[in-house]
Amino acid sequence: MKHTQNRTQKTFCKLLFAVLLPSVFCQSAFADDPLPSVMSLDYCSDQYVLSLADRAQIVALSKAAEDLYSYHRERAKGLAKSGSTIAEIVIASPDVAVQTYSTAARMGEITEKAGIVLLNTSYGRDLDTMYSNLSMIADAIGKQNEAESLISDYKTRLENIRSTPRSDFTVAYVTPGGFTGGKGTFINDIIELSGFQSYAAINDYNGWLPLPLEDMIMNPPDIIITSFFDSQLQNQSRWSVSRHDHLLNMMEDIPTIHLPGALMACDGLFLIEAAEQIRSDAKALGVLHE
């Protein structure tokens, strides 16, 4: 009886081993299988890659990844950087390369020959484009859960901003180059999303154009928003309206919010962050009450 019981136990153990071994083996194989490696070729792609990928996945970022206008520059520290040339990409041989605007001639053809998946993201002009870029990169580098979490977080924050009360104050935007964004630009969307009236839209400006200083003098806005004054002041255009004494005086008299260039460097990629910062700075300046 005892012998029979032992045999049964042994058989059960053998069966259990036979069933569990492949499963344990496979699990061990899955755990050791690395996620696809990724290389980003410009600072807009850097932002997507730094948002999604594990540090171990990142073969290299662009040389601009740590510049002042790179939003995730802190995360970029300690990671390899490349000049994003075809030769560097082929030598680094990542599984996936991501680019937004760095299109060297024959890039697609050579990366295909080298077996590298080249992803071209669209400029993040609106949130849908950004969500689509995030999902595309996440699918390629095995980070679907992270992308879904990010998108969900963005949607919640977007709803929060939209549910806050709107202000009648007009907001004009100016870059160090003296340009402003009218209807159809992401900056116009950011201003309206933040709950203010866009000065450019009220004055029927379309697209990007030099800020008309005479309009500003005749009908001053309630708030001025600048960006890139932090990172590109040394390149403030010699010919732009932003060097004019009168605009500089207006920026001292009218509440002015200086947005970091990193929020604007890739069009609307950080649209929600920019809108949140505008609201936060406006409250600090006492021009927005909730």
- Interface with another protein (CB under 8 A): 177-178, 210, 212-215, 217-218, 232-241, 243-246
Q: Give, to the nearest 10 degrees, the angle between helix 144-162 and helix 43-52.
A: 100
Question: 3-state SS of the chain: helix, strand, coil percent to 5?
Answer: 55, 15, 30
Q: Which is nearer to another protein, 233 or 285 (CB)?
A: 233
Q: If you count DSSP H runs as helices and E runs as strands, how many of each does the chain have, helices first?
A: 12, 11
227 phi-psi bin (left φ>0, alpha ψ -120 to 50, beta other):
beta
The secondary element (H helix, E strand) that includes residue 60 is strand 58-62
Identify any residues that bridge with 259 across adjacent strands, giving them in sequence order: 227
Pick 45 or 57: Cβ nearer another protein = 45
Q: Which is nearer to another protein, 41 or 150 (CB)?
A: 41
Nearest-approach distance from CB 77 to another protein, in angstroms: 21
Q: Provide, rounded to whole angstroms, the least separation between the CB of residue 263 and another protein.
A: 18
Q: Which is nearer to another protein, 36 or 212 (CB)?
A: 212
Query: Cβ of residue 234: shortest distance to another protein, in angstroms?
Result: 3
Residue 217 vs 285, nearer CB to another protein: 217
Specify whether the CB–CB gap between 261 and 273 falls below 8 A. no
**Least separation in angstroms between CB 220 and another protein:** 8
| Beta carbons of 180 and 202 less than 8 angstroms apart | no
Report the nearest approach of another protein to the CB of residue 33 (Å). 40
Q: Which is nearer to another protein, 93 or 203 (CB)?
A: 203
Shortest spacing between CB 199 and another protein, in angstroms: 14
Strand order across the 117-120 sheet: 81-82, 58-62, 38-40, 96-99, 117-120
Contact assessment for residue 196 and residue 202, using Cβ atoms and an 8 Å cutoff? no
